[in-house]
Chains A and B, each alone.
Chain A
């Protein structure tokens, strides 16, 4: 186990190193940000001074080495636009994105598991059929289109829910969160629903497939023969067996949600990491984009690692090598 952990750690570090190198190479060759930062009437001398100040006149390897050295100390450069440390800018936006991701996942799980189980146990009922059709739609529709439809229905036509920003936030254990206040909660509904629908569809299909497989197994027949109620068989014994893939999917999809939050945050003007990175891309704010990529990669690598470890605790049949 310890050997496996060390091996995985080294792999994670290797992946992060590759990511930093790839991103840096593309950034290096993607053009000069200096011209965008200065007004067009700036003199040659001013351009040169700024370039020198940002370290852009050094050769490639020197720039990369100094970048890596600073990165290890938690310094990923200063934003050209905000003139603040890039890491700080991103970290202060993490709570907004994570709040969105977690509430979407919670929504998807509390609706998805019962709906998938129902669709597996009563496959012929009209409700199951509409659940499955809905999940097919949910999987194949583009996220941004879903968001727009929700905005159109609930904000433009009905006027029930706000469609932009985060609303009021409250300080909870030192973190600014929206859901404790009524206004913040209302602001949270549409964006998290937008993200949740795809995850919901995925969980429904996964739970249904798993449940149908489990219900055919011998131990279920045995439990039936023993005289257990259907409710107990489904909710206690069968459920245990379908939770493993669900937990895995939740872990792996959290990374995806954080990436897809870019789209959702843009639609709803949600002040999270994703909106920041899109604004930075449009503003050619190199350090922030780079810092975002590295921080998000770190999150993915850690999530994948955690999922692998949790998996082994849940399913003793899996041996790690």
Chain B
């Protein structure tokens, strides 16, 4: 895309206030996650910074002593919830983004091959996708995590395995229509290999729908991660994501320590809604069928 195309895109994108809000929330969360070690008052993983006499401090957010620590309270180990949430957001976004990148790359490649090569390869890949789609995503991810065990890397792979289908289907559909176009014939006539045609000619032309799907799926990936972590099957408790923080807080919700579960939950809600709104807006702007 050249400069003018970007400007046109921006002009159209900013027409919707909700879309702008979604983009702003997403950017803010990304920035917070990136800068977490710099802006959080303590390192929640460093046990030497935690003191048990600080455990279960209630939030001082609304108190008049604005310089007090533990703005969002503390948990049973005296960990500052505000820092824990910043670091949790970091883990959640990291899992969401990296699983999206992996599944998008893998799924797009398979879809490209499926659509371009056709025949038996296509039938096989699409049949696997159909079977996988007939089972709920959470069940597949749960099975993988249950049998493989907890871990940051493992959950990224599990979510990627769940999500590749969506990219493969989209990429295949777009490839089928691109493949018949003249520029592909021209490339073929010059005698370049199939791989080059797929990667250099077709791939750049099917990127837009993939990006839209990816934005929407990031939110799903984050929800899936937090759900698995909530069930105790996601990231290990030494590096808690938002889901594990919510789980930890839920255990003590009935003792009256509501802040340990509510604030991470609000954080999760914010990031998911922000990304969803951004994704919806991107879909409207990039979808050629809706163009005036």
Judged by a CB distance under 8 angstroms, whether B233 is at the interface is yes
Cα distance A289–B148 in the bound complex, in angstroms:
13
Taking a contact as CB atoms closer than 8 A, the residue among A140, A148, A256, A297 that contacts B265 in the complex is A148
| Interface contact A263-B273, CB-CB below 8 Å | no
Given A144-B227, A260-B138: A151 in contact with B253 (beta carbons within 8 A): yes
Within 8 A of A (CB), among B214-244: 219, 223, 226-227, 230-233, 243
Taking a contact as CB atoms closer than 8 A, the residue among A30, A262, A281 that contacts B138 in the complex is A262
Which residues of A sit under 8 angstroms from B272, Cβ to Cβ? Answer: 140-142
Judged by a CB distance under 8 angstroms, whether B6 is at the interface is no
| Interface contact B258-A156, CB-CB below 8 Å | yes
| Interface contact A27-B147, CB-CB below 8 Å | yes
| Interface contact A142-B134, CB-CB below 8 Å | no
| Interface contact B273-A260, CB-CB below 8 Å | no
Given A15-B134, A145-B246: A263 in contact with B231 (beta carbons within 8 A): yes
Chain A interface, >50% SS class: helix
Which residues of A sit under 8 angstroms from B232, Cβ to Cβ? Answer: 278, 282
| Interface contact A293-B143, CB-CB below 8 Å | yes
Which residues of B sit under 8 angstroms from A71, Cβ to Cβ? Answer: none
Which size class do A's interface residues fall under?
35 or more
- In the complex, which residue of chain A has the Cβ closest to the Cβ of B230? A144
| Interface contact A30-B231, CB-CB below 8 Å | no
Which residues of A sit under 8 angstroms from B134, Cβ to Cβ? Answer: 15, 300-301, 304
Taking a contact as CB atoms closer than 8 A, the residue among B143, B219, B262 that contacts A26 in the complex is B143
Given A142-B272, A262-B231: A289 in contact with B135 (beta carbons within 8 A): no
Which size class do B's interface residues fall under?
35 or more
The minimal Cβ–Cβ distance linking B230 to chain A, given in whole angstroms, is 5
Judged by a CB distance under 8 angstroms, whether A309 is at the interface is no
Cα distance A282–B150 in the bound complex, in angstroms:
11
Taking a contact as CB atoms closer than 8 A, the residue among B138, B144, B261, B276 that contacts A263 in the complex is B138
Cα distance A300–B243 in the bound complex, in angstroms:
28
Contact mask for chain B residues 127-151; partner A; CB cutoff 8 A; 1 contact, 0 none: 0000100111011001110111100
Within 8 A of B (CB), among A98-154: 137, 140-145, 148-149, 151-152
The 4 residue pairs across chains A and B that have the minimum distance between CB atoms: A259-B136, A281-B146, A30-B147, A259-B139
A-B contact pairs, 21 of them (CB 8 A): A26-B143, A26-B147, A27-B147, A137-B273, A141-B269, A142-B223, A142-B272, A144-B246, A148-B246, A148-B261, A149-B265, A152-B258, A259-B136, A259-B139, A260-B136, A262-B138, A263-B230, A266-B231, A282-B232, A289-B146, A301-B134
Residues of A within 8 A of B (CB): 15, 18, 23, 26-27, 30, 137, 140-145, 148-149, 151-152, 156, 255-256, 259-260, 262-263, 266-267, 278, 281-282, 289, 293, 296-297, 300-301, 304
Residues of B within 8 A of A (CB): 131, 134-136, 138-139, 142-144, 146-149, 219, 223, 226-227, 230-233, 243, 246, 250, 253-254, 256, 258, 261-262, 265, 268-269, 272-273, 276
